[in-house]
Amino acid sequence: MKMLLIGIIVVLALGASIGGYALMNHMFGNYGLSPYSQSYNGNGYPTTYGTLIPVQQAITLMKSPPSYVHVFTNNNSIVFTSQEINLVVLTMGHKRAENLTGRPSPTDGNVFVIYGLINPTLIIPQGATIHVTVINLDAGDYHNFVITTEAPPYSYNLMMGGGMMQGGMMNGGRFITMMPLLPPANYQTGYAHEFQYTFTLHQGEFWYICTYPGHAEGGMYGEIIVA
C-alpha cells in the first residue's frame, strides 16, 4: 500500500515536471530563444545574453519615436496609433533614467524608459501587433519586461505560489508574456544586452513589470490601456 502511494506520487511529480518543461519550451519557443542562449544567473533566475547593441544606439532608438508614437509629457503617457508597433523599452536605475530623460522618476528604485518618459502609461489599439525591443542599460542589475493582468502593489517575489511554470503569479494575477532576465550593460565596452519578442493585447487594462525580485515591488512598473 505504501509502495503504491509512493509510486503514484513519483508518477505525479514526473508528469508535473514534464508538463512544466513543455510549457517553458512553448513560452520561450514563441520568442525565438534557443535553449543554448539561456542560462541562469547567480540567483537561479532564467537569464539570456540576447544580442548585443551599442549603448549609444539604444539611446538613439529611445529618443527617436516613430510617427505613430505620440508622447504626452503632461500626464506621462504615450498613445500609439498603429496596428504595427515598435516598442523600444530601456531598463535602468532611476538616477540614470532622470539624467537620460530630464524628467523626475516616480520611484527611487529601478525604472523603464520608453520614448523619453519614465514608467509611462501606454495606450495601445486593440489587437495591435507589438514588437518589443528590451535593452538593459543598467550597470549592475538584471531586468526584464513582461505583461501581467495583476495591478500594483506587487510583492517581493512574483514567481512564488505557482509562479511562472503555471503561468500565474501571487494574488491570482497572470502573466501575458514572459522573457528571461537581461544582464547589465558593459560600460567599458559600450555594449548592452537586447531581447526582442512580439505580442498582441485585447481590450482591457494591463501592467508591464520587471520580475526580478523586489523590482516591481520597488516601483518598476507601468500601465497599459488597450482600447
Phi–psi pair at 40, nearest 5 degrees: -125, 135
Sole binder of Cu ion in the list 176, 182, 215, 217 (CB under 5 A) = 215
Binding track over 156-195 against Cu ion, x by CB under 5 A:
----------------------------------------
Give how far the C-alpha of residue 191 lies from the chain's centroid of Cα atoms, to the nearest Å.
20
| Cα dihedral: 183, 189, 195, 196 (round 10) | 160
CB nearer to Cu ion: pick between 65 and 138: 138
Sole binder of Cu ion in the list 53, 122, 210, 224 (CB under 5 A) = 210
Phi–psi pair at 126, nearest 5 degrees: -55, 135
Nearest CA to 143 out of 182, 180, 187 is that of 182
CB of 210 vs Cu ion, minimal distance in Å: 3
- How far apart, in whole angstroms, are the C-alpha atoms of residue 210 and residue 187? 22
Q: Was 202 annotated as part of a binding site?
A: no
Number of residues that bind Cu ion (CB under 5 A): 5
The interface region with Cu ion, picked from 41-49, 78-86, 110-118, 128-136 by CB under 5 A, is 110-118
The reply on whether position 221 binds Cu ion by CB under 5 A is no
Site for Cu ion in 4-63 (CB under 5 A): none
Using the structure block, give the residue that is written with the C-alpha cell 532564467.
46
Q: Was 220 annotated as part of a binding site?
A: yes
Sole binder of Cu ion in the list 143, 145, 147, 158 (CB under 5 A) = 143
CB nearer to Cu ion: pick between 94 and 215: 215
Q: Was 131 annotated as part of a binding site?
A: no
Reduced to 3 states (helix: H, G, I; strand: E, B; else coil), residue 159 is coil
Sole binder of Cu ion in the list 185, 212, 219, 221 (CB under 5 A) = 212
> Are 91 and 161 within 8 A, CB to CB?
no
CB nearer to Cu ion: pick between 47 and 110: 110
> Are 78 and 123 within 8 A, CB to CB?
yes
CB of 65 vs Cu ion, minimal distance in Å: 23
> Are 215 and 110 within 8 A, CB to CB?
yes
Q: Give 183's DSSP letter.
A: P
List of residues contacting Cu ion (CB under 5 A): 110, 143, 210, 212, 215
Could you list the residues known to form a binding site for Cu cation, using ranges: 143, 210, 215, 220
